[in-house]
Structure 1
């Protein structure tokens, strides 16, 4: 991967380059350090920047998927995160708090055991916000997407939000952040 080009160009290179260049320098450096290649598709970026509620979905491959998306996203979003990581674990809650403090979005604990987090997501959508959800719930052990939970459809129906799907590949191969990884620093590809 070229050191100064850690993203993939889409149909309009000028727009993709510009989108990559808008990310803070430290975000780009962290993405390069994690060997993340980001592709910005014009249609997806337009959806993300358009006014109105939007549910962004992504397959879930590793524990670092959310932070990678936050570092690369053209817009700040509200991230639905398991309470263990968002609130209970001091290390991950501080790291997620730092990303939020840097203006990359905010985190809401969401659990199957309590409807409070989902209600918060619904309020954010009704206010025109952007919400990021991993509809599979858990992390895939082999990189193959699991079937999604019905929560996304429920949120869309209740809020009138549109949906925009993004995709991450390769993160499941991480020994550090994946469930059954075989590589210390695998190449990861994120497609907006």
Structure 2
């Protein structure tokens, strides 16, 4: 039976100009689940100046859930225009129907990992005997084809290793751009934070 969410309360604080408020509703259901609604600017003057942006603060400690931080960002603040992995190479292909399994391997594994997996398969000739990255590739093959035939996996590994250097958007290429993007985004966000107003709900 589908349970509906019920509003449990609303948190309100004064907006930056002091002429209105900023609010967030809180909801619960019969399964003792809780969630927060969107943060709303309830001030016409501040709506003309700001937009609400959120940032998830992930927790890696057991028993501590992720939390959200909210900010008011000036409407005229420029968007991030730096290097972007998806712009350079396109999005990663997670659906094997879109590309060949060899291309999937190139996009998701380093050349060194593929060479190691190929060598292990060449020695052991059995998916039941491989370990490490070769075992993970075996699982990928089973997920896509419902098969763990060693001869098929070896063939794809050989194609991937031979095609790696000429492939646009390989894992090794993406890692380089990913690091550059992370550094540029951190710099961008650090500067943007100077212009934002943190919402303390």
**Higher RCO (CA-CA < 8 Å; seq separation 6+):** 1
- Decide: shared fold, TM above 0.5: no
Larger Rg: 2
